[in-house]
Amino acid sequence: MVKLIDRARKLPYFACMAIIGVSTSTALAGSEAIEWSKDPATLCEFVAPESLTKGPTFWTGACVNGKASGTGMLRRRDGNRGGPAFFGQMKNGLPQLGVIDLGSGYRINTSRDSDIRASAETEPQIRIDAFRVAADAARQIGAKYAAEKNTASAQYYNTIAKTLELQIE
């Protein structure tokens, strides 16, 4: 009888541990759904928006603790050919706010609770903020290339910044 009572007292502990185990495995399963990529040159890690498609993607910006952080650009590349690009803010390797330049148009990219969402239909203020952040990112990329004496690339990204700013008006 004493053993039965002792086991009954331990039951809430084991039930609690089982719940923690299930919720931990669920959380880990959710994080596995996010596909991390690495810049082939710097090995900086990030999660690329789905619109960039799969393949070699490069991060131009700060890399803090091995993760893309701050304002910058993710550029999809095939050999020497540039593909779509995300201009915006990253935090711990996750896109926060910015614009994806698809070549044929722009897509606003926002992130809420690590869930990457891309939508052309967003609130006006979010759209304005996204284009401002994207223009700032393009200007910073242009300044980086200007500092490296790469005039053609500097002009290219400064032109992109101006084009992104025009989307606000």
Tokens 């690009």 appear where?
Answer: 85
- DSSP structure class, residue 92: T
Contact 68, 44 (CB under 8 A): yes
Per-residue pLDDT for 29 more than 60?
A: no
Q: Where are the domains of the chain?
A: 1-33, 37-166
Q: What one-letter code names the amino acid at 138?
A: A
pLDDT digit string, tens, across residues 33-88: 788 999 999 999 999 988 888 889 999 999 999 999 999 999 999 888 889 999 99
- Cα separation, 139 vs 128, in Å, equals 17
**pLDDT per residue as tens digits for the range 103-159:** 888 888 887 544 455 454 568 888 899 999 999 999 999 999 999 999 999 999 999
pLDDT range class, residue 12, cuts 50, 70, 90: very low
Token output for 104: 């044929």
Question: How does 50-81 read in b/e, with b if 16+ C-beta sit within 10 Å?
Answer: ebbeeeebbbbbebeeebbbebbbbbbeeeee
